[in-house]
Amino acid sequence: MQLNILSNNMTDCKTNQATTTTIIMINNTLAIESIATHPDFRHLASIADISVDLRYASPHNFVGRDLYAPVDCAWLHQHAAQSLERAVAWLKQERGDVSLRVLDALRPQRVQEALWAALQGTDLLMYLANPVRGSIHSFGMAVDITLVDLSGHELDMGTPFDDLSERSHPAKEAALLAKNELTAQQIRHRQLLRDAMRHGGFVGISSEWWHFDCGDRDLVRSEYTRIL
């Protein structure tokens, strides 16, 4: 077992006295409780011109309860945060009337395990990364995201976030349009979201219109710090 102990010398703003924080990392992992002390991670509040509504930090998710409390999960790896800023800049230039709303960002491994347990025995497991392999969310390198208009209303994407049905699958949009299960406008909204995220450096997936990974998934799993 690899054990890394990092020491950060930090200055406490209130007392102006130097304090030392020790971060204990095992096999390149870090407890969410220590994330604010790790230089690789950025809080979502540091990203301008987005809104944040973390659904797993509320009862408005498919489990029906807050999975994050009392922990603050409004974090991303700095690489994903920079990519998101590029997506924001592109969208601002292209469209002054819509902006990005983050629905999920950093999802600790312990929450991934709780979701995995909640979906056992259902055919919905295909929508979730096996916690043994790990979700890219748990590295702060994935976001679930949508678009909102100037009054803060989410654009119609054809399904709500976490609608675990084929209507959420970007790969099936042409067939769903042909069957009148999605409208051309709903697909245009999704395409605008994909265009913005692609300009930032994110890559979408075939089964969820709201999910985007930052960079190569295998590289993230092998090189980045997993948050427990």
Residue 73 Cβ, how far from Zn ion at the closest point, in Å?
13
Q: How far is the CB of 179 from Zn ion (least distance, A)?
A: 26
Cβ closer to Zn ion: 101 or 211? Answer: 211
Structure tokens at 126: 């295909």
**Which one from 94, 113, 166, 208 is the annotated catalytic residue?**
208
Which three-class secondary structure string do you get for the chain? CCEEEEEEEEECCCCCCEEEEEEEEECCEECHHHHHHCCCEEEHHHCCCEEECCHHHCCCCCCCCCCCCCCCCCEEEHHHHHHHHHHHHHHHHHCCCEEEEEEECCCCHHHHHHHHHHCCCCHHHHHCCCCCCCCHHHHCCEEEEEEEECCCCECCCCCCCCCCCHHHCHHHHHHHHHCCCCCHHHHHHHHHHHHHHHHHCEEECCCCCCEEEECCHHHHHHHCCEEC
How many residues line the site for Zn ion (CB under 5 A)?
2
User: Of 13-21, 27-35, 73-81, 210-218, which segment contacts Zn ion by CB under 5 A?
Assistant: 210-218
Contact flag: residue 55 with Zn ion (CB under 5 A) = no
From 47-55, 137-145, 152-160, 219-227, give the range in contact with Zn ion by CB under 5 A: 137-145
Which of residues 148 and 205 has its CB atom nearest to Zn ion in the complex? 205
Q: Nearest distance from residue 26's CB to Zn ion, in Å?
A: 25
**CB-nearest residue to Zn ion:** 211
Taking CB under 5 A as the criterion, the residue among 55, 211, 217, 226 binding Zn ion is 211
CB of 127 to Zn ion, least distance (A): 9
- Whether residue 44 contacts residue 105, with contact meaning beta carbons closer than 8 Å, is answered with yes
213 binds Zn ion (CB under 5 A): no
Report how far residue 219's alpha carbon sits from residue 223's, in angstroms, rounded to the nearest whole number.
Answer: 6
Q: Interacting stretch for Zn ion, rule CB under 5 A, among 1-9, 93-101, 144-152, 163-171?
A: 144-152
Hey, which residues between 166 and 195 contact Zn ion (CB under 5 A)? none
> Is 208 known to be catalytic?
yes
CB of 163 to Zn ion, least distance (A): 13
Separation of alpha carbons 183 and 179, rounded Å: 10
Query: Which of the stretches 16-24, 33-41, 42-50, 140-148 binds Zn ion when contact is defined by CB under 5 A?
Result: 140-148
Catalytic residue numbers?
A: 208
> By the criterion CB under 5 A, which residues form the site for Zn ion?
144, 211
